[in-house]
Amino acid sequence: MAYYKRRNQSFRKKNVVCQFCVNKVYNIDYKNLEVLVRQIGPDGKINPRRRTGTCARHQRMVAVAIKRARHMAMLAFDRGTWL
């Protein structure tokens, strides 16, 4: 019982509603690291939508912004060693 409960929780969405839609964000800047850092995991990978609850449109914008930040050496490609 407990096992199933924990397993279900790990796949549960944290935010049911897209936080970018709630705050009415229309474009995500790659220099805005405060926002982008929240969208990557400890290993530097982009968090999936099922974890963050971001809508498809904003997830696309987040992905582009993170990739641009990686190119400009603001975010790491792996291990999440951003500074």
Partner 1 sequence: MIKLRNYEIAVIIKSELNDEQRSSLKDVIQDWVVSSGGEVVLLDEIGKRKLAYPIEKQREGYYVFWYVKMSTAGPAEVERQLSIHEDILRYMIIRSESPVSVSSSQENDSDTDVSESDSPEDSDSSDQPDIEKIVDELMEKEEKEEMEGSK
Kindly list the residues in this chain that would bind partner 1 in the complex (CB under 8 A): 14-15, 19-20, 22-25, 27-29, 31-32, 34-35, 38, 68, 70-77, 81-83
CA distance 28 to 35: 8
Closest Cα partner for 51 from 14, 83, 16, 81?
14
Nearer to partner 1, 1 or 34 (CB): 34
Give the nearer residue to partner 1 in terms of CB position, either 50 or 73.
73
- Between 2 and 83, name the residue whose CB sits nearer to partner 1: 83
Nearest CA to 43 out of 9, 6, 81, 80 is that of 80
